[in-house]
Amino acid sequence: MPTYFGRVARLQIQVPGQLGQEIDGLRVRLRSRRSGKGFDGAQIDVWGLSTDSYGQLGRGDTITRLVAGYQDGPGEVMQGQVVPLSLRRVVSEGEVVTSWQVQEATTALASVTLATSWPGAVKASEVLSYIAGALGLALPAQVLPVDLVYARGFTAYGKARQILTTLATDCGCTWSVQAGRLVLLPLDGALRTRAFVFAPSSGLIGYPEQVDGGRVRSTTLMQPGIFPGDTYRLGGDTLAGDYVAEQVEHAGDLWGAEWYSYVTGRVAK
């Protein structure tokens, strides 16, 4: 796997029903954003992508998966379908640059409709598991703040997105799609405890700063493993403490200066 100052960027392109391809060694520029609400996305620019790969990206059902980070721990930055009309191919300084936007999960998910029902008592977690399976998403093992029981049954009829919002609200959560998983994030924002410690000796760049609403934004070396809802610790002598990630951005150019993650969080209770 080619590296540049220990950096890694690996692109996977998968057309349903065909063998996927994995692309290493090309210059990749990326910018992704996860907010833990609905669908997240990314902008990807690749230098020297082949004509065949460009043609595959033009299909409506092609899945793009981008793995990036550092050689000792790369991780998935984003996966999903190409956003309609976002695919571009231009010549810059004598090189062909292919650009496109990716929306987490599938762009079709926003318009998927469901028509099923449970005539007897059913738990919200059971309905959520069914919907996740119907949409081709994995549902991670997690404890809902409230696993409401619908004593008179439940009818899932209409837009999947709206039904998910109803279920999540009943359970005291918001929902999002992250790395091919349906994630239910409690309203207090904390989902799980992870061993992330950001300090000057472990990837923290510069000084954390306070932003809107008392939240704290930190810059680190690229950390693809952190997601909204994860708890982390800031070390050093500026705004040190435990936080819950609310927004995670990854940005960088494999051959450029930037290769960072930007984590915005609030103080953990």
Q: Tens of pLDDT along 1-60?
A: 445 789 999 999 988 778 888 999 899 999 999 887 766 889 999 999 999 999 999 987
Span 244-267, average pLDDT: 94
Query: Residue 1 has what pLDDT?
Result: 40
Q: What is the pLDDT of residue 2?
A: 45
Question: Which pLDDT score, from 0 to 100, does residue 142 have?
Answer: 64
The answer to pTM > 0.85 is no
Tens digits of residue pLDDT in 123-132: 999 999 998 8
- Give the mean model confidence (pLDDT) for residues 169-180: 81
Task: Quickly state the pLDDT bin for 189 (edges 50, 70, 90).
Answer: low
- What is residue 129's three-state secondary structure? helix
Task: Return the higher-pLDDT residue of 207 and 229.
Answer: 207
Residue 220: how many CB atoms within 10 A of its CB? Answer: 21
Q: How confident is the model at residue 140 (pLDDT cuts 50, 70, 90)?
A: low
**211 burial type by CB count under 10 A (0-12 exposed, 13-18 middle, 19+ buried):** exposed
pLDDT at residue 17, rounded to an integer: 79
**Mean pLDDT over all residues of the chain?**
87
pLDDT band at 230 (very low <50, low <70, confident <90, very high): confident
How much is the pLDDT for 188? 64
Amino acid identity for residue 259 in this structure: W
C-alpha dihedral sign at 143, 129, 150, 156: positive
pLDDT digits (tens, 9 = 90+) for 64-120: 989 999 998 899 898 888 888 999 999 988 999 999 999 875 545 666 889 999 999
- Residue 214, exposed/middle/buried by CB under 10 A (0-12, 13-18, 19+)? exposed
Q: What percent of the chain has pLDDT over 70?
A: 91
